[in-house]
Structure 1
Amino acid sequence: MLTMRRVARVAPWSLAALLIGASSAVHAQAIQNTMDPLGSPWNAQRIFEPSALPELEHRDTRDSNNEPVAPEDTPVKNRQQPGYEPVGIRHGSWMFNPSLMTGALYDSNVFASNTQKRSDIAAVIEPSLRAHTLWERHGIDLKLNSQSTIYNENSSLDQTNASLKGAGWFDVAHDMVVLGSFQIARLNEGVGSLSSPTNAVTPTPYNLFSGDLTVRKEWNRFTGSVGARVDSYEFGTARAQDGSIIDQSARDGQIYAVHGRIDYAFSPSLGWFAGAEGNQRDLRGIPGSSIDSTGYRVLSGFTVGLGRLVKGEFGGGYVEQRFDNPLIGTVSGPSYRAKLTWSPTRMLDIHVKAEQLVTQTSDTSSTGVLANAVQIGADYELLRNVVLSASAGYETDRFFGQDRRDTVTSTNASVKYLMNRFSSISAYHRYTSRDSNTPIFSYDKHQVGINVTAQF
């Protein structure tokens, strides 16, 4: 029988699958509106995300209580009820899960503009294949997928994203694990996103090669991790309203980062954490105008966990990005983060997130942003096979190097109906409103869509 410690390590693979399958689309917000769960040990690679408090009872007690986690004790949005989980195709010690999602989308403002408002409908096709190991100790999880969006009237917005993502872990000892992840992708920056060229009427394609390697170690109540990551970008061109070509190759380059985190558990319901990440950005830029920079972010605070009722993390710290170009200078300031999940019943999860950070409009841009955001959302299990989700966010953005201040209001509502093990249907509505003191950047849009998924 596996020990409880082993179960705790195997369980995150369901979360790893969600992590590597997340969308790579660029959002209008500097702080993305996401409430995806992330469990230990994968927070070792995303060190500013909440960690799970460890089991502190005696090993013999843990072993005697070794029972599978019931669906009702997992997050509402991602729980798998018996009879609705994918079947999969097993080949030796590997499991394969193919799926195909097709859908239709209505967008009330496809160019995210306040002067060139056009609505359109689009077809969305997303095939994917997940492959993961069934080994008792080490593990590998891979996902290959593509997403094509084809517009009815504005074919210039058509785009196809394709990616291969992977995550893996190697259990060196019962208290030490090596984590790795990678991504090879061909992606697009959507028109109207913060990092898209202002006058663009087509998406900006780019290639991304990313990898992370982390070592995580436990010492009784202490847990520590240290790792390194590299992201390599290669951008293509976009087209402007007047038909001219917008070359984005100045943003090509590599971003190197080192990161570390330590956690200490005072009790099963209270812990302390500290995380730090440093980066060096070597980007092409343009002659006479470098966008190379070095920076760091540190955050420290407390992790709380009151059974399955309340889980969250609260922290504060500092962030700084120092650019080689004296005309850009140094972007720095305090940073805080609070993320809480409250489950008053086993059918309802309420999420709250508040965050302040000094960032850039994109990893490869020189425009700094001081962003403050508050987000709240809820997931409700109406029936075993029907889940309702809703969220709302409010963000303020202050831009460095220009007299610009924006506020972003967003809402998101969806319903998902699981018909059986092999199919599901979902519908959603998203609303985004950006209000800027520079009118050219103001816009609002509604997106309404329906998706049908077949899986095995």
Structure 2
Amino acid sequence: MRRRITTVSGARDGPTCRTISITPVSIQWMAITKSSLTSFAWVPVRIPSTVMLRMAPQRRAPVPVVLSKTVSIPGPWAAVQRATCVALEVEEAKTFAQAKKAPRRLFCRFMMPQRKSMKMNMQIGRLKHTGEILWCIAILLFAVEVTAADQTAAPDEDAENFNYPISLNATYIYDDNIYAQNADALGDSILLISPRIAAKSLWDRHNLTFRAGADLGLYSTYSKENYEDLFLKLRGRYDLSDKTSVFGGIGYSLEHEGRDSPEDNLSGLEPTTYDSTELSAGVSHDIGLYSLRLGMTSEWLDYDNVPAVGDSLIYNDDRDRRLDSVGLQLKRSVTDASEWYARTLYSRRDYDEALSLDGYQRDSTGYRAAFGFKYKADQKMLFDGYLGLMTQNYDDPRFSRVDAVDFGGKLVWLLNSKSRLNLLFNRTLNETTVAGSSGYLLTDLGGTLEYNFMPKTIGSLSLSKSVADYQEITRQDDLLSWGVGVKHLPNKNLYVSADYKIFSRDTSDAYLSDSTLTDEYDFDRQRIYLTIGLTF
């Protein structure tokens, strides 16, 4: 998506101008009189090099620039279909050497012609979908990047400031128990479409990353189980100096609860959906071998009510809540390959409604503290793990304080040139809607062994175990899953895979069904996955 700007002459009003053409959207960068253009928007652009120029909007004509430049237009630009012209005026630097010694900022201005033939055929005010609006915001953030380079550089040496990975996966799934039931299991075929797009900066300093994606599940027979999950995330870091930086982010996601979720109500006619909005900010500072990091996050969860059998409604508004946390981490480098860290976290969980439907106050505050160690040996091994304590205090006097060991981490180990072992372990304290319980302590252990038995073909064997220990009551869920798979990569842009997985849940006998004398929360499930994936 890049073309080098070349100097041309003979423009309508006489001055030398610079023109580029970029596909799939044609954009012209040139000198045009004020009479034919109206201002659309201003976008400041930082040039990550030693040479920067500044826009001079009051000049009658642009001044020829002796420096070669490149421009990058990201993939999301194509969402607009037809874009505007872009006009640029630059302040003259008397000599190339002077420009290098006195770097300045450059501003680009989006310009929109008044001529009917050049009018934009998409107006922000007419957009009907949130996704389109967010795409336009992303375009304003990423659409134009300009870098100045030494005029002695080779003609083909273009500098990219952003990377735009795009992927599209299509998966056929057969599930023999879509409702995760203990009896009368129903099976169905599912088509899962998963597009992903990102924009990642490649700057020497600072960082900006945008990610967006969706998971669209289409059921062949039971169409009420269809779901449309999506997410949008923007993360950034600004380096105040070589040792100090600030960071932050914003994210939005629309998700659904699977039928195997312990919080799913079996009487619901469709999956429970909810949206999550997240904000984060922080600062980090390096002091010799030490690094100090302070961060804050806030997340808002909004659950939708769900229609149920008998024209009833499952009320989920009492699950809406806000999660706030403040964390501090101190890290010290031991060697080039290892470091240790200590972290502490304070969190607050506030529900929108003072009482849940079953009459409990579920607001709470919590603390976590842990020590951790990270080790990376070239490309052969990566270990990152921590161990500590967690505690949670609930506003409802009927709920006792929860005290537990806190741990988590991962191990990636290249056993030899053809095999790799991945291990994960984690513990969290989750919220619940189960009456009489303040929450459940979830312990996850899992691993995957991969073996490259052909140059472009990888086989895998996975196994995981989870234990959900419900507080204040006797319920405990044991979840077990295992699977085998194979993945073939014909080239770097394409892969195909096939997987077979088995899932089971065994709940304590305290929850036996009155009619069948079997535990209504137990289930067994088998799934077959066939996937084709494309990356760009």
| One-letter identity of the residue aligned with 1:118 | L
Other-structure match for 1:189: 257
**Structure 2 residue 320 is matched with structure 1 residue 249:** no
Other-structure match for 2:336: 268
1:191, 1:200 within 8 Å by CA — same for their partners in 2? no
CA distance in 2, matches of 1:384, 1:177: 43
Other-structure match for 2:301: 233
Q: Following TM superposition, by how much is the alpha carbon of 1:249 offset from its aligned partner in structure 2, in angstroms?
A: 0.8
TM-score normalised to structure 1 length: 0.74
Aligned counterpart for 1:204 among listed residues 248, 268, 272: 272
Instruction: Name which of structure 1's ranges 237-246 and 398-407 shifts more when overlaid on structure 2.
Output: 237-246
Cα distance, 1:276–1:429 mapped onto 2, change above 3 Å: farther
| One-letter identity of the residue aligned with 1:247 | Y
**Structure 2 residue 384 is matched with structure 1 residue 313:** yes
Instruction: Name which of structure 1's ranges 409-418 and 157-166 shifts more when overlaid on structure 2.
Output: 409-418
**Structure 2 residue 399 is matched with structure 1 residue 331:** no
Q: Following TM superposition, by how much is the alpha carbon of 1:118 offset from its aligned partner in structure 2, in angstroms?
A: 0.8
Give 3-state SS (helix, strand or coil) of 1:156's partner. Answer: helix
Other-structure match for 2:530: 450
RMSD: 2.6
Other-structure match for 2:176: 108
1:415, 1:428 within 8 Å by CA — same for their partners in 2? yes
**Structure 2 residue 345 is matched with structure 1 residue 277:** yes
CA distance in 2, matches of 1:254, 1:292: 10
2:348, 2:366 within 8 Å by CA — same for their partners in 1? yes
Instruction: Name which of structure 1's ranges 117-126 and 197-206 shifts more when overlaid on structure 2.
Output: 197-206
TM-score normalised to structure 2 length: 0.63
Other-structure match for 1:142: 210
1:180, 1:212 within 8 Å by CA — same for their partners in 2? yes
Of structures 1 and 2, the one with the larger relative CO (CA 8 A, separation 6+) is 1
CA distance in 2, matches of 1:247, 1:450: 36
Give CA-to-partner distance per residue, 1:54-85, whole Å, 9 cap, x none. Answer: xxxxxxxxxxxxxxxxxxxxxxxxxxxxxxxx
Other-structure match for 1:53: none
Q: Following TM superposition, by how much is the alpha carbon of 1:145 offset from its aligned partner in structure 2, in angstroms?
A: 1.6
**Structure 2 residue 466 is matched with structure 1 residue 395:** yes
Give 3-state SS (helix, strand or coil) of 2:250's partner. Answer: strand
**Aligned residues, how many?**
367
Gaps of 5+ in 1: 3-88
2:437, 2:473 within 8 Å by CA — same for their partners in 1? no
Instruction: Name which of structure 1's ranges 175-184 and 93-102 shifts more when overlaid on structure 2.
Output: 93-102
The aligned runs of 1:62-77 (5 Å cut-off) are: none
CA distance in 2, matches of 1:198, 1:321: 29
The aligned runs of 1:369-380 (5 Å cut-off) are: 369-380=440-451
Cα distance, 1:341–1:95 mapped onto 2, change above 3 Å: closer
| One-letter identity of the residue aligned with 2:265 | P
Identity %: 22
Give CA-to-partner distance per residue, 1:277-332, whole Å, 9 cap, x none. Answer: 21111112436532111112211133334444332134321111211111233222
CA distance in 1, matches of 2:418, 2:280: 36
Q: Following TM superposition, by how much is the alpha carbon of 1:375 offset from its aligned partner in structure 2, in angstroms?
A: 1.7
Other-structure match for 1:222: 290
1:410, 1:430 within 8 Å by CA — same for their partners in 2? yes
Give 3-state SS (helix, strand or coil) of 2:520's partner. Answer: helix
Q: Following TM superposition, by how much is the alpha carbon of 1:122 offset from its aligned partner in structure 2, in angstroms?
A: 0.9
| One-letter identity of the residue aligned with 2:530 | I
| One-letter identity of the residue aligned with 2:489 | L
Aligned counterpart for 1:155 among listed residues 223, 227, 230: 223
Give 3-state SS (helix, strand or coil) of 2:488's partner. Answer: strand
